[in-house]
Amino acid sequence: MSADLTELYQQVILDHNRRPRNRGKLPTANRVAHGDNPTCGDQCSVYLRMDGARIAEISFDGSGCAISQASASLMTTQAKGKTGPEVQALYKHFHDIVTTGNAPEEISDLAAFAGVHSFPARIKCATLGWHAALEALKSDPLPTTTESHLD
Amino acid sequence: MSADLTELYQQVILDHNRRPRNRGKLPTANRVAHGDNPTCGDQCSVYLRMDGARIAEISFDGSGCAISQASASLMTTQAKGKTGPEVQALYKHFHDIVTTGNAPEEISDLAAFAGVHSFPARIKCATLGWHAALEALKSDPLPTTTESHLD
Amino acid sequence: MPSWKNVRADFPILHQQVHGKPLVYLDNGATAQKPRAVIDALVHYYERDNSNVHRGLHALSMRATDAYEGARARIAKFINAADPAEIIFTRGTTESINLVARSWGQAHLKPGDVVLTTEIEHHSNLVPWQQAARASGATLKYLPVLGADGEGGLDLAALDQLLTPQVKLFAFTHISNTLGTIIPAAEFCRRARAVGAVTVIDAAQSIGHTPLDVQALGADFVAFSGHKMCGPTGIGVLYGRRALLDKLAPDETGGGMVVNVTYEGATWKPTPERFEAGTPNVADAIALGVACDYLDALGREHIAAHDAVLARVAMEKLSTLPGIRIIGPRVGAERSGLVSFAFADVHAHDIVTFADEDGVALRGGHHCNQPLMRKFGLTSTTRASFYLYNTEEEIDRLVAALRRTLTFFVGT
Amino acid sequence: MPSWKNVRADFPILHQQVHGKPLVYLDNGATAQKPRAVIDALVHYYERDNSNVHRGLHALSMRATDAYEGARARIAKFINAADPAEIIFTRGTTESINLVARSWGQAHLKPGDVVLTTEIEHHSNLVPWQQAARASGATLKYLPVLGADGEGGLDLAALDQLLTPQVKLFAFTHISNTLGTIIPAAEFCRRARAVGAVTVIDAAQSIGHTPLDVQALGADFVAFSGHKMCGPTGIGVLYGRRALLDKLAPDETGGGMVVNVTYEGATWKPTPERFEAGTPNVADAIALGVACDYLDALGREHIAAHDAVLARVAMEKLSTLPGIRIIGPRVGAERSGLVSFAFADVHAHDIVTFADEDGVALRGGHHCNQPLMRKFGLTSTTRASFYLYNTEEEIDRLVAALRRTLTFFVGT
Ligand SMILES: Cc1ncc(COP(=O)(O)O)c(C=O)c1O
Ligand SMILES: Cc1ncc(COP(=O)(O)O)c(C=O)c1O
């Protein structure tokens, strides 16, 4: 397997792909947004329960390749407990990593995605979940409701 | 001047171009048709006075290159006194001449147009007046009227 | 003269390495590669004859016009059209279908009418009809595909029910770009004609792969793209029966398609000029004519046979992969030279990326077939699509690449 | 790197004989010739990178996509668009204008509205507006041209009267293909904006001949063709301001321009994809980007200066011919690199045929400008149009050919 491919499919990515964290709908969500990758038809929904300015709970749902699934999964673990501006700042780091391949030391978890930069067509896969999360943060709060409206 | 060009612009063609025969509207016409060469914007109207099945008088009007003007002029001299089927037969000869370059002896007047066959883009110029004449022969008789309706 | 013996030598692009491995190009459903003769035709045109067509009387313009109209006649012959004026040059299948959907649709569709299509259409033969139906108030109906994986083909029994006299137009694909299913197009045309419906065949996937005779099919309109039949990008064809084209209003307007223009209005030339506003894609049309020569020299019936062998071999070998789900006709059934498949645990994009590492070019995604994917409970498949230059050894390379990918992701 | 020193060497087609004489190509208003670099770009693409764009993840597809989108960015830079997404690839000027006339026209025009254009438009910037006005019930008005031969340019005083708030769209040419008049496009845009009208500039004749900055012009839409700027046939551009494109509905629909398709309906991608249904003309778009490189290496301001010199020389020399009637700006006035003229006793077609015998390629006819011709009492003119590879010696060849023709027909 080539160095590029090994870089792309790091162990942490494979792990998140096989055992996605925070996957599925969030019954208590008060924010939700949906992202599409029109190029390939991949989809990702992100559910948030905001507690004031902070993300108290987060989950994602959808379908896509290993990169997009692992990225969404890792994103949920990173975003939990953070505020909107904090998630925004994280995304900026993440975007730099997947487009340049350079990962600063302090955000080592996201660094697993540095290999994406050798596969420009996959950048959209890696950012799909993040885009949905940022959209959800910007979205209007859901009316208090039961789970069913999310179907 | 090349042989092709000399062939194309025969003396008889130049003569008909400089001094077109039967040019202008025919006040007594009882048939008229109009032809367009959409490729170049050339136009030709042909006016007939039919006397029974025969063309008693014929004229043409319009604008175009030397080939189209001379051809329409010569056509009027050939068609006069003929019946529809006779003009049709003449046109068949003429079409053969301009597309193949071969002119049978017996129709020597039209043979001046044999040179057109080396200039395929000009075939439409040479046939414009003929098409208008054939259309006029097929057209409905004009209501008896004064000259003015032809303006 | 091309010959089957060294067909691969005719295609310069095939002789390259991708990631250090010889390229195995199995993305022919998306676009075909170009033989040297087609590339040379472009070079020759631009080096010797380039000029605007139709309105010119100088030497270059006459040569360009002759070559352009010669290409039209060549393509008419290629599909056995009765008249070169039935060949309208477009950018490709999509534009051809849009032209019919708009010009024909606007003139003929009204509320209460039905446009019939099928569940297996490419977006390009689906969305334009949704738009035409919406604009006119007509209803769009779909002929269903049978089987959990579309293996049953289109539902011929349902066709009887659906083909009512309300159906004004029936648009269907000749070969499915996702399933590989070959549609009984002549029968569909016959049955459509029986209720007075106009037929539109999307021949994007069939045109370069099998003999196609528009008169034998009895089709009213046929749309195809040059780039899928060894021709250049940016050129395609709408075939239309003369009697229909003669009555059709133009779609785009402008120079070259008018007889007489005043400040008040304009009149139109006859077909085909009426449908070709502006300077046409002269060079690519001419090169498309050369692609016809190329394919006919090899023989389209031989290409179809070659494709069929590769499809059979691929079906057999792919079926041995653990967990594979192949959609479309089953092993042993007739199918065109393409195979779409999915694995529960490995996404198509990861497969395509892994295969690319092995030099194997595949396509992964919804193949412009989202509603069909959704019907099958899929979001994407991986597709291997073959053409005249592919070999059985290349299928072995494909299978090896897939095995390696499966091992990596699933560990089997 | 091209250089002015041996520019002619870059164009293979120029080095041929026509009827035994070296070709003098003076039909650049119809289409320009292609430098070796542009032809090579096509060959390179088909020999190395050919693949379908956007939807592919394998090596060829990524290369093709990068090159295609790179061409879009290159063209954005060429016209100083603010964003590559403002560049929509079309077949050419005619299709670009049709796209605006239909998509924008359908959404915005209603009875009582006025579409303003001018008396000097090419059919391609005239008939689409007639159609849009007819479809919407809007009125089409024409800004007059002044002078018996159009020598006075467009009537700027009338523009004040005509540009009322009822005017929703103002479509005008940048350079007249028949008169050679250069239109004050920036001023027209400014005045149109003052009444809230959207502007459409037909840049077919200017794009390859003079620097063009869409932001400096303040244009809303700009249409042009690749083939008139040293690019291939079959590719052109519609530039649209992002804010307008974002609100514009698609024209053609199909694969590649949709986000989500169901059997019930579809949603659209943002610009530019929304306006590029189907497989695009990848190869020719890429080659158009190379044409931009070529023109910029020579410098468009230098091309404009070169054209201006040839126009001046041609005007001076042609004016000496007995009985010549030159239309458009008078000797000494500013004009682009083309001259249209007529003789009372010799028809344009006969002139073109005679000139062709001398190897000189001219255009004769109405130049897709019938109403303007009629206004001048003409049915056709002969046009000599120059480009970067033409020389003053070629103008002498032109004048000699015309003298010979006059001698033959008129005897002077
Ligand atoms: C001023 C002008 N507008 C529009 C066009 C149409 O361009 P195209 O035929 O490339 O669509 C032309 C060229 O023929 C032109 O000169
Ligand atoms: C069945 C089918 N129809 C239509 C199309 C659209 O063709 P194009 O993109 O060349 O317009 C394609 C190819 O993408 C296809 O496979």
What integer pLDDT is reported at residue A150 of this predicted model?
Answer: 39
* pLDDT reading at A149 higher than 60: no
Question: What is the C-alpha separation between C100 and C114, in angstroms, rounded?
Answer: 15
Angle between helices B66-79 and B123-138 (to 10 degrees): 40
What integer pLDDT is reported at residue B127 of this predicted model?
Answer: 96
* pLDDT reading at C333 higher than 50: yes
Question: What is the C-alpha separation between D247 and D271, in angstroms, rounded?
Answer: 9
Does D225 contact ligand 1 (Cβ within 6 A)?
yes
Segments making up each domain of chain B, as ranges: 3-141
Of A6-15, C22-31, D319-328, give the lowest mean pLDDT range: A6-15
What integer pLDDT is reported at residue A146 of this predicted model?
Answer: 43
Q: What DSSP string runs through A114-147?
A: GGGGG-GGGHHHHHHHHHHHHHHHHSPPPPS--G
Percent of chain D topping pLDDT 90:
97
Ligand 1: centre distance to CA C274 (Å)? 16
Atom of ligand 2 nearest to the CA of D279: 9
Tell me the CATH class for A3-141.
alpha beta
B36 touching chain C per CB within 8 A: yes
Contact D185/D175 with Cβ under 8 angstroms? no
Q: What is the pLDDT of residues D370-391, one digit of tens each?
A: 999 999 999 999 999 999 999 9
Neighbouring-strand partners of residue C325: C342
What integer pLDDT is reported at residue C152 of this predicted model?
Answer: 97
Candidates 3.40.50.150, 3.90.1170.50, 3.90.1150.10, 3.20.20.80; CATH matching C4-28+300-410: 3.90.1150.10
Q: Nearest chain B residue to C56 by CA: give it.
A: B121
pTM of the model: 0.96
Of A138-147, D141-150, D320-329, give the lowest mean pLDDT range: A138-147
C145 SS3 class = strand
CA-based torsion, A7, A12, A15, A20: positive or negative: negative
What integer pLDDT is reported at residue B106 of this predicted model?
Answer: 67
Minimal CA separation from C110 to chain A, in Å: 33
Question: What is the C-alpha separation between D204 and A38, in angstroms, rounded?
Answer: 34
Segments making up each domain of chain D, as ranges: 4-28+300-410, 39-297
| ipTM value for the complex | 0.94
Question: What is the C-alpha separation between D110 and A134, in angstroms, rounded?
Answer: 40
* pLDDT reading at C138 higher than 50: yes
Of A70-79, A114-123, B19-28, D162-171, give the lowest mean pLDDT range: A114-123
Q: Nearest chain D residue to C135 by CA: give it.
A: D106
Q: What is the pLDDT of residues C361-412, one digit of tens each?
A: 999 999 999 999 999 999 999 999 999 999 999 999 999 999 999 999 988 6
Q: How far is CA D293 from the centre of its chain?
A: 18
Tokens 């009444």 belong to D195
Q: Cα torsion at C269, C270, C273, C276 (round to 10°)?
A: 90
- Spatial CA neighbour of C31 closest among D86, D76, D68: D68
Q: Nearest chain D residue to A123 by CA: give it.
A: D57
- pLDDT band (50, 70, 90) for residue A103: confident
B2 touching chain C per CB within 8 A: no
**What are φ and ψ of residue A44, in 5° steps?**
-150, 130
Contact C62/C50 with Cβ under 8 angstroms? no
Q: Is D368 a catalytic residue?
A: yes
CATH no., domain D39-297:
3.40.640.10
Cβ burial C288-303 (10 Å sphere, 16+ → b, else e): bbbbbbbbeebebeeb
- Compute the mean pLDDT over every residue in chain C, rounded to the nearest whole number: 97
Contacts 24+ apart (CB under 8 A), D392-395: D392/D309, D392/D310, D392/D313, D394/D24, D394/D26, D394/D360, D395/D310, D395/D313, D395/D314, D395/D317
CA-based torsion, D18, D22, D24, D30: positive or negative: positive
Percent of chain C topping pLDDT 70:
100
Chain D hits for B37, CB-CB cut-off 8 Å, are: none
Q: What is the pLDDT of residues C161-184, one digit of tens each?
A: 999 999 999 999 999 999 999 999
Helix (H) or strand (E) holding C266: strand C266-268
Contact B76/B22 with Cβ under 8 angstroms? yes
In D119-253 the beta strands, taken as DSSP E runs, fall at: 139-143, 145-146, 153-154, 167-173, 198-202, 221-225, 236-240
* pLDDT reading at D15 higher than 50: yes
Minimal CA separation from B124 to chain C, in Å: 12
Minimal CA separation from A142 to chain C, in Å: 27
Question: What is the C-alpha separation between A88 and A97, in angstroms, rounded?
Answer: 14
* pLDDT reading at D200 higher than 80: yes
* pLDDT reading at D47 higher than 60: yes
8 Å CB contact of B36 and C65 = no
Rounded to an integer, the average pLDDT of D313-330 is 98
**Ligand nearest to the Cα of C95, by number:** 2
For residue C18, the one-letter residue type is V
Give yes or no for a cis peptide into C272 (omega within 30° of 0).
Answer: yes
| Among candidates D56, D57, D269 on the partner chain, residue whose Cβ is nearest the Cβ of A38 | D269
Mutate to test the interface with C, among A13, A16, A40 (most CBs of C within 10 A): A40
Rounded to an integer, the average pLDDT of D283-303 is 98
C106 touching chain D per CB within 8 A: no
What integer pLDDT is reported at residue C242 of this predicted model?
Answer: 98
Rounded to an integer, the average pLDDT of D165-186 is 98
Q: What is the pLDDT of residues C270-283, one digit of tens each?
A: 999 999 999 999 99
Mutate to test the interface with C, among A42, A68, A128 (most CBs of C within 10 A): A42
CA angle, C231 then C235 then C237, to 5°: 100
Q: What is the pLDDT of residues C246-263, one digit of tens each?
A: 999 999 999 999 999 999
Q: What is the pLDDT of residues A19-68, one digit of tens each?
A: 999 999 999 999 999 998 877 778 899 999 999 999 999 999 998 999 99
Question: What is the C-alpha separation between C67 and B40, in angstroms, rounded?
Answer: 20
A117 touching chain D per CB within 8 A: no
What integer pLDDT is reported at residue C263 of this predicted model?
Answer: 98
The pair of structure tokens assigned to C330 is 């089953």
Question: What is the C-alpha separation between B78 and B72, in angstroms, rounded?
Answer: 10
In A30-70 the beta strands, taken as DSSP E runs, fall at: 31-37, 42-51, 54-63
Does D279 contact ligand 2 (Cβ within 6 A)?
yes
What integer pLDDT is reported at residue C84 of this predicted model?
Answer: 98
Rounded to an integer, the average pLDDT of C115-143 is 98
Rounded to an integer, the average pLDDT of C334-361 is 96
Neighbouring-strand partners of residue C266: C261
Chain B hits for C270, CB-CB cut-off 8 Å, are: none
Of B119-123, C102-106, D90-94, D259-263, give the lowest mean pLDDT range: B119-123
- Spatial CA neighbour of C31 closest among D270, A42, D58: D58
Chain B hits for D346, CB-CB cut-off 8 Å, are: 66
Helix (H) or strand (E) holding B40: none
Rounded to an integer, the average pLDDT of D21-49 is 98
Question: What is the C-alpha separation between C84 and C373, in angstroms, rounded?
Answer: 38
Percent of chain B topping pLDDT 70:
92
What integer pLDDT is reported at residue A142 of this predicted model?
Answer: 87
Round to the nearest angstrom and report the end-to-end CA distance of chain C. 47
With an 8 Å CB cutoff and a minimum of 3 pairs, decide whether chains B and A touch.
no
